[in-house]
Amino acid sequence: MIKCLGGKVSLNIKRDIIHMKNSIQRFREIIKVLAYYGFGFIMDNTIKGDTEQSPKNLRKAFEELGPTFIKIGQILSTRQDLLPENFTDELSKLQNNVLPESFHNIEEVFEEEFNATIKDTFKFFDENPLASASIAQVHTAILKDSREVIVKIQRPNIKEEMEMDLQILHKILSLTKSKLANFIIDPKEAIEELQLSTKLELDFTNEVNNLKRFKKANLKVPYIHVPYVIDELCSTRVITMEKLNGFSIKNISKLEEFNYNKEKLCKNLILSFFKQIFDDNFFHGDPHPGNILIDKGKICFIDFGIMGSLSSTLQEALNELIIAIVYEDINKIISVLMSIGIKTGYIDRNNLYEDIDYLLSCYMSTSLKNIKMSQMLQEVMECASSNNIRLPKDLTLLIRSLVIVEGVAVRISPDINILSIAAPYVKSKNKNFLFNDLNLENFILRSSNFIKDSAKVPTKFIELSDSIVKGRAKLQLKMNGLNRSINELNKMVNRLVFALIISAMIVSSSMFLIYNIGPKVYNTSLIGIVGYFIAGFMGFWLLISIKRSGKL
């Protein structure tokens, strides 16, 4: 028994030595490739990096370093909160086509997962892969009951390889954090996010669950189709699902060959995406043309490895942000960004105001129908980033996805307008407040925003007084008439409160009239009418009191 135990210990030591040896070799390989593509400055202070060519060189380096780095690059391309835009744009060009794994190795993975051979499980299985990607490869097959399926099988040892590469990257980034300030916003967080993302992507049960949830949410949408899965042939390393015989949505010649209405198709695509955001709160995180197929007149989504959802706070913030942008309410935009963003340094509010003002002046010089919603949101996000405000990853993923969807739609139908198509969903969330064709409701929106913002005034006064007491605030005041009676101040506060009550009554009465709630006179809400009369009387009384004071 002692001999047996000693043998096991010896075997474990041998494995550790082999792993260490492989890790050292891989470390050298990574450093060598990075140095070749201009990233030698990471390890050598005498070498200067070429910042202009860095994004393209990083993509080339990742391609040369193989499947694990290709997947890492693809994940990073979705994270503009971790990398600058020029890097994410370049990494999004990483191609998924890598050399296929031998069928023997793929067959071994399948047998390990199901305790059965491919030959015994399928009526037919094509040994030549339909597609070969960084983590897995896809084969076509036919089940015993003659259903056509595709089988996605994970590459052998890919999990161990990715874990090793991430450990090496972690060491490199921890040793050279200060030298990467221009390339990675937060190296430590970048690695942590990569580890989490790769862990999720390497467990195929997550993708299966995402697919099922997405399918359930779209069952009643006539123009959307989501493939079904074969549960008994799905595991952590294998997915078996319905085979789709369609073509990529970017194949314009095919769309024309089958006489598809391209404008209607794009409209349905955009409607689907806004349904995912506003109704389902579960949206496709990587809707590039390769993941959107057209089959039998329906839009088919595939590859559910990256999905996104927004918290209720972020959903509300997105709605407020869109409204504030359309109304050119710069202070509201800043307020929303600062409420949901993470402060990464000193924020110069005046500079942020000027940046957003310039951005809006560029957009608002054209008509609303010509504005690209995704590009506008993306540039607002860039304004925030350049002013030390980092937005939540879920929001950046959504904006990136929206950019991709809008790009696909515009490529197929150049005259498509995403804002006009999105109107039903944005209107339903904001009671039609976004558009100017309903003046009464626009008035209600502004009034309700005024009341909400006014409610924050006491808190702001407390924050201001606290800053003054602690010496954090610098005030430039010219004080005249210091002997003003405290009664005047009380009167001013009373009028402000009175005005807020009047505003609240107007808003609530308007809501009663819009939805026609309560007792009715001539089919009009009596409560709403009475509310208006009371608000009018109070407003008239307030106006007279102000005029009498001589402060009108």
What is the CATH classification number for the domain harbouring 222?
Answer: 3.30.200.20
The predicted model scores a pTM of 0.71
User: Looking at the predicted structure, is the pLDDT value of residue 1 above 60?
Assistant: no
Residue 191 and residue 207 in one domain: no
Q: Which residues of 378-392 are buried (b: 16+ CB within 10 A; e: fewer)?
A: bbbbebbbebbbbbb
Whether residue 316 sits in one domain with residue 238? no
Mean pLDDT for 255-270 is 92
Q: For residue 140, what are the β-bridge partners?
A: 150
Pairing type for strands 292-295 and 247-248 reads: antiparallel
- Which of 215, 243, 271 is at the close of a domain? 243
- What is the three-class DSSP state of 332? helix
> Is residue 409 within 8 Å of 246, Cβ to Cβ?
no
| Span 128-158, pLDDT tens digits | 999 888 889 999 999 999 999 999 999 998 8
- Quick one: 384 and 459 in the same domain? no
More confident site: 382 or 419: 382
Residue 10 in domain = no
Least confident range from 120-134, 420-434, 455-469: namely: 455-469
Q: Are residues 388 and 471 in the same domain?
A: no
Q: What is the pLDDT of residue 146?
A: 96
The confidence band for 220, taking pLDDT boundaries of 50, 70 and 90, is: very high
128: phi then psi, degrees, rounded to nearest 5: -85, 125
Structure-model confidence comparison of residues 187 and 205, the more confident one: 205
The least confident of 159-173, 385-399, 479-493, 537-551 is 479-493
pLDDT of 51 reads 63
8 lies in some domain: no
From 291, 389, 313, 354, select the one nearest 74 (Cα to Cα): 291
Cα 251 to Cα 248: distance, rounded to the nearest angstrom? 6
Phi and psi, residue 306, nearest 5°: -115, 115
The answer to whether residues 353 and 256 belong to one domain is: yes
The H or E element spanning position 84 is none
Does 486 score more than 70 pLDDT? Answer: no
How sure is the predictor about 476, in pLDDT bands with cuts at 50, 70 and 90? very low
Is the pLDDT at 208 greater than 80? The verdict is yes
pLDDT (tens digit, 9 = 90+) per residue, 329-341? 888 889 899 888 8
Distance CA 246, CA 293 (A): 6
40-70 per-position pLDDT tens digit: 666 555 445 556 678 888 888 888 888 778 8
399 phi, psi to nearest 5 deg: -65, -40
- Band (pLDDT 50/70/90 cuts) for residue 495 is confident
Same structural domain, 505 and 413:
no
Residue 277 within any structural domain of the chain: yes
Our count of domains for the chain comes to 4
Quick check: 524 and 509 in contact, CB under 8 A?
no
Residue 9 counted as domain residue: no
pLDDT band at 494 (very low <50, low <70, confident <90, very high): confident
Q: pLDDT averaged over the chain?
A: 79
Do residues 283 and 307 lie in contact, with contact meaning Cβ atoms separated by under 8 Å?
A: yes
On whether residue 531 sits in a domain, the answer given is yes
Which one, of 508, 496, 497, lies nearest residue 534 by Cα?
Answer: 508
Q: What is the pLDDT of residue 544?
A: 76
Same domain, 389 and 265: yes
Kindly state the average pLDDT of the residues 383-403. Answer: 86
Is residue 394 in some structural domain? yes
Side chain identity at residue 277, one-letter code: I
Do both 366 and 284 map to the same domain? yes
Q: Is the pLDDT of residue 528 over 90?
A: no
Choice among 70-74, 231-235, 271-275, 466-470 with the minimum mean pLDDT: 466-470
Q: Which domain holds residue 267?
A: 248-437
Is the predicted pLDDT of residue 438 greater than 50, yes or no?
no
Higher pLDDT, 307 or 461: 307
Q: Are residues 82 and 116 in the same domain?
A: no
Q: Could you give the CA distance from residue 281 to residue 296 in angstroms, rounded to a whole number?
A: 27
* Pair (414, 505) in one structural domain: no
In a domain, 2, yes or no: no
With bands split at pLDDT 50, 70 and 90, how would you rate the model's confidence at 434? very low
* 395: in domain: yes
Q: Are residues 430 and 367 in the same domain?
A: yes
Do 87 and 116 reside in the same domain of the chain? no
Residue that terminates a domain, selected from 213, 243, 273: 243
The better pLDDT of the pair 419, 405 is held by 405
Pick the more confident residue, 22 or 157: 157
- pLDDT of residue 277 exceeding 70: yes
